[in-house]
Amino acid sequence: MAKTRSIALRCFFFSVFYIIYLCIGATVFSTIEEPHEDNLKDDIRQLTQDFLDENSCVNLGSLESLIEEVIVANDYGISWKLNGTKYTNWDFWSSLFFSTTLLTTIGYGHASPLSTSGKAFCVVYITIGVPVTLLFLGRLMALLGKCSDKLLRYLRNKLNYKVAKLSINLLHLSILVLTILAFMVFIPAAVFTVLEPKWRYFDSFYFIFISTTTVGLGDFVPGQQAEQFGWTRLSRNIYLVLVSGTLLFALSSNKITAKFNLQTCESS
């Protein structure tokens, strides 16, 4: 009975902490973002009014209906430009990238099924695919884990009689974290900054962080401006495949880091 009460008490305090943390997030986001939203609303209203003033023959209701349709199409990843685009969200390679975002649960929202049959298949595909992806990431983790274990054994053999075990574990964790940050975050961010001309370095870093934590807000999605930057279809397809592979590898690397971080904390 006492044990149950203790668990319930801890759950209660954690719930209170979690609610407070949510409220802190809500307060900060509201304070930072609401003024920007208001400014953007004012800009849109002014642009709309200027357009109507310059084109008196255009009816406001018709314009709003057109904009609503454009927004709906854009939500499905369809370009609003009259001259169209040579790219599609549903060729094989774009669909492969979309499938990767589904199975890794990143889900950028840059494209979504248009048809009922596509939505139905999406449900079935995710139901089967997410567990399979977890198994695949587990195998990838095991492979990366063996490399990490070899490094840890090497450090222990070299430093075992000179340095405390905890210090060796911390050194191992530091090497692991710095390596993953370099090859999975900082270098890819630099590459994205070059390949995506509209992205600043911080935008690229932000994209990688949001992706590898599987949040996937969708405000930055690779390859969406490929036509504008003069990419060929082949180069865009290769780019999407490489991004898909990088995301899978980065997710595994994050799990490896979390695993050894936990082990280091336990050993301390």
Residue 150 C-beta-side C-alpha neighbours within 13 Å: 6
- Of 34-38, 58-62, 261-265, the range with the highest mean pLDDT is 34-38
Q: What is the pLDDT of residue 175?
A: 87
Instruction: Give the span between the Cα atoms of 209 and 217, in whole angstroms.
Output: 11
Instruction: Give the span between the Cα atoms of 191 and 207, in whole angstroms.
Output: 12
Helical residues (DSSP H) of 112-212, grouped into ranges: 116-159, 165-181, 187-195, 201-212
pLDDT, mean of residues 111-134? 89
Instruction: Give the span between the Cα atoms of 177 and 151, in whole angstroms.
Output: 13
For the stretch 209-223, pLDDT in tens is: 888 888 888 888 888
For the stretch 66-105, pLDDT in tens is: 888 888 777 666 766 665 556 677 888 888 888 888 888 8
Q: 110: helix, coil or strand?
A: coil
User: Which sign, positive or negative, has the C-alpha torsion 168, 169, 174, 180?
Assistant: positive
Whether the CB-CB separation of 220 and 201 falls below 8 Å is answered with no
pLDDT of residue 254 exceeding 70 = no
Q: What is the pLDDT of residue 239?
A: 85
pLDDT, mean of residues 168-174? 83
What is the CB neighbour count within 10 angstroms for residue 182?
11
